[in-house]
């Protein structure tokens, strides 16, 4: 069961340390996945991404330089994520928790149309290819959901904000937290109190949320 943490800040209000919050709150997801760890951040018009094999804390404790920013996603799980994708909607980084039960069917269909896969057609590769076909990120998320069978939660880092998705079944729940100048979403909020975050609400099943600066806004609902 992979886990992720997502952080967006308003630099004019935020009094914390962005990398410190991103590091420790991602570390609190480490018990959910120990094979791979990864971070993606946005700063000055560019998405920076870094992944390691192994536990999050020992691999990233001395490898945070260059990941400064105002938005970020952190991942601990069984695949090398987040992955970076360039699409007609622009560049984005994404990570995923869940189980796609029609993966083989979708993979075969993509290969029939000439698509190739760097990591053998992992769930996140299939999801991002489906999503990239949409007219914008919200439409892409909805189209992706129409094609897959299974349950999931998803985070998507874009220049305009971070999209958070909980599938309509709600089997992979997500929690929204906040503190002065910052908003966060996580799989497991066990570290919120230590980081000064307070619980705001759960992401509703089927809800598409955009994190931007220090607020969370519902952008759509998957029926």
- Residue from 180, 172, 161, 162 nearest 203 by CA: 172
Q: Which domains does the chain have, with CATH numbers?
A: 3-221 (3.60.20.10)
Residue 221 C-alpha from the chain's centroid: 18
Give pLDDT tens digits for 43-89: 989 999 999 999 999 999 999 999 999 999 999 999 999 999 999 99
Please give the pLDDT value at position 44.
86
Q: 22: part of which helix (H) or strand (E)?
A: helix 18-27
**CA pair distance 3, 152, nearest whole angstrom:** 11
Residue 5 burial (CB < 10 Å; 0-12/13-18/19+)? buried
**CA pair distance 83, 26, nearest whole angstrom:** 16
Contact 25, 184 (CB under 8 A): yes
**CA pair distance 1, 36, nearest whole angstrom:** 12
Q: Whole-structure pTM over 0.75, yes or no?
A: yes
Give pLDDT tens digits for 161-196: 999 999 999 999 999 999 999 999 999 999 999 999
């Amino acid at each position: 069961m992979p886990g992720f943490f997502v952080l967006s800040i308003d630099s004019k209000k935020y009094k914390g340390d962005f990398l410190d919050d991103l590091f420790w709150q991602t570390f609190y997801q480490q018990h959910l996945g120990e094979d791979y760890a990864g971070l993606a951040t946005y700063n000055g018009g560019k998405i920076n991404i870094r992944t390691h094999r192994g536990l999050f804390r020992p691999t990233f404790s001395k490898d945070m330089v260059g990941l400064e920013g105002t938005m970020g996603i952190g991942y601990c799980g069984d695949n090398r994520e987040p992955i970076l994708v360039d699409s007609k909607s622009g560049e984005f980084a994404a990570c995923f928790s869940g189980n796609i039960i029609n993966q083989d069917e979708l993979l075969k269909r993509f290969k029939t149309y000439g698509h190739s896969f760097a990591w053998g057609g992992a769930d996140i590769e299939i999801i991002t290819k489906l999503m990239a076909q949409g007219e914008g990120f919200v439409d892409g998320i909805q189209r992706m959901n129409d094609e897959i069978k299974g349950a999931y939660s998803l985070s998507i880092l874009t220049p305009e904000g971070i999209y958070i998705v909980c599938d309509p079944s709600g089997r992979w729940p997500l929690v929204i937290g906040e503190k002065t100048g910052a908003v966060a979403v996580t799989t497991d909020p066990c570290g919120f109190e230590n980081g000064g975050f307070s619980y705001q609400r759960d992401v509703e099943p089927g809800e598409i949320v955009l994190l931007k600066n220090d607020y969370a806004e519902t952008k759509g609902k998957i029926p």
